[in-house]
């Protein structure tokens, strides 16, 4: 059956959906629900139920955003960035503290983490900036300084929480947009060299004690297997014990016996690999790869600089 005949059978509203992205997304979400069900001790509450609820809420939000004309998205890009920046400021004033960090805002029954919202916000803001920048100015300081400020401002606020990982993620998203905008390659090489040179100073004088411990543990987790490296060692045991096919659904021991901290978030991949093995890990990577391929295809087919 050719595509024309298929469209006669399948309603156009269904046929035109991006199924090459939606199918792996739904499969990944369903698989994630199974992993969280097991991480919750074989119950929907509290992890799996909230996982599916968030998926439904964000799916509705994504559908609304996808239906917006591009001009509307352009119009709300800068106001949206500024709003999230103000939320980051509000975190410093009235933010909720959890795990030794001040990262959340309590809005009635809803808890939000503005730093997560800043990840897409900074990408959209920089895409809008480079769209309006004349091509002749790409490669001059006018293409670097304003865009750099769009990155540095939220990075500084997130580092104050403190949250090094999210601040690096924000910077990475912004730098990728700079690269795609066509900034000279030697700028990136120079910045990379400067970052490597400054790394020792940052390590000894800018990082908190727990952040330095994380770096040291990441580089050599076996140096303190019963202290700072304990959780990494346990996660490696969980992944290795899963073998090729895993121990079976809801049969994990590392997570169920509390050897893995936060098996539903920080160590969820280890929890999954223990029960589903190498096959489960490859499945997750494959689904992410299909979604990424779809995103790159959409970007390549975009007709304007902002969408690309």
Taking the domains of the chain in order of start, what are their residue ranges?
Answer: 76-197
Q: What is the pLDDT of residue 173?
A: 93
- Band (203; pLDDT cuts 50, 70, 90): confident
State mean pLDDT over 231-243: 87
Return all residues near 117 (Cβ < 8 A) that are at least 6 apart: 84, 87
Q: Is the pLDDT of residue 6 over 90?
A: no
- Band (231; pLDDT cuts 50, 70, 90): confident
Q: What is the pLDDT of residue 109?
A: 62
Please answer whether residues 144 and 187 qualify as being in contact, where contact means their C-beta atoms are separated by less than 8 angstroms.
yes
- Band (4; pLDDT cuts 50, 70, 90): low
Closest Cα to residue 152, out of 190, 178, 189, 113? Answer: 178
Q: What is the pLDDT of residue 33?
A: 92
Cα–Cα distance for residue pair 13/265, rounded to 1 Å: 36
Q: What is the pLDDT of residue 276?
A: 94
**Structural tokens at position 123:** 């990408």
State mean pLDDT over 108-136: 87
Cα–Cα distance for residue pair 197/187, rounded to 1 Å: 15
- Band (209; pLDDT cuts 50, 70, 90): confident
Return all residues near 148 (Cβ < 8 A) that are at least 6 apart: none
Stretch (H or E) spanning 216: helix 209-219
Give the model confidence (pLDDT) of 149-193 as tens digits. 999 999 999 988 778 888 999 999 999 999 988 888 999 999 889
pTM score: 0.76
Phi-psi region of 281 (alpha: psi -120 to 50; beta: other; left: phi over 0): alpha
- Band (146; pLDDT cuts 50, 70, 90): very high
- Band (82; pLDDT cuts 50, 70, 90): very high
Cα–Cα distance for residue pair 264/37, rounded to 1 Å: 9
Return all residues near 161 (Cβ < 8 A) that are at least 6 apart: 91, 92, 95, 101, 102, 103, 115
């Amino acid at each position: 059956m050719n595509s024309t005949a298929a469209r006669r059978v399948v309603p156009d509203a269904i046929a035109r959906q991006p199924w090459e992205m939606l199918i792996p997304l739904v499969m990944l979400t369903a698989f994630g629900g199974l992993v969280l069900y097991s991480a919750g001790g074989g119950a929907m509450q509290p992890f799996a139920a909230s996982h599916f609820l968030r998926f439904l809420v964000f799916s509705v939000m994504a559908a609304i955003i996808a239906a917006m004309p591009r001009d509307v998205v352009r119009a709300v890009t800068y106001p949206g960035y500024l709003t999230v920046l103000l939320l980051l400021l509000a975190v410093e004033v009235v933010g909720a503290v959890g795990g030794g960090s001040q990262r959340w805002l309590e809005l009635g029954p809803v808890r939000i983490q503005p730093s997560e919202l800043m990840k897409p916000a900074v990408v959209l803001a920089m895409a809008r900036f480079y769209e309006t920048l004349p091509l002749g100015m790409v490669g001059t300081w006018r293409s670097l300084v304003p865009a750099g400020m769009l990155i540095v401002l939220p990075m500084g606020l997130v580092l104050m929480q403190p949250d090094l990982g999210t601040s690096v993620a924000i910077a990475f998203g912004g730098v990728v947009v700079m690269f795609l905008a066509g900034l000279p390659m030697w700028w990136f090489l120079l910045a990379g060299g400067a970052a490597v040179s400054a790394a020792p100073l940052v390590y000894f004088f800018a990082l908190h004690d727990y952040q330095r411990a994380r770096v040291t543990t990441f580089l050599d987790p076996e140096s303190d297997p019963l202290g700072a490296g304990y959780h990494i060692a346990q996660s490696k045991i969980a992944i290795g014990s899963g073998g090729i096919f895993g121990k079976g659904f809801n049969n994990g021991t590392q997570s169920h016996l509390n050897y893995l901290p936060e098996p539903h978030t920080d160590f969820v991949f280890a929890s999954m690999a223990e029960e589903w093995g190498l096959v489960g890990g490859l499945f997750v990577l494959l689904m992410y790869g299909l979604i990424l391929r779809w995103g790159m295809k959409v970007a390549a087919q975009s007709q304007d600089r902002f969408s690309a």
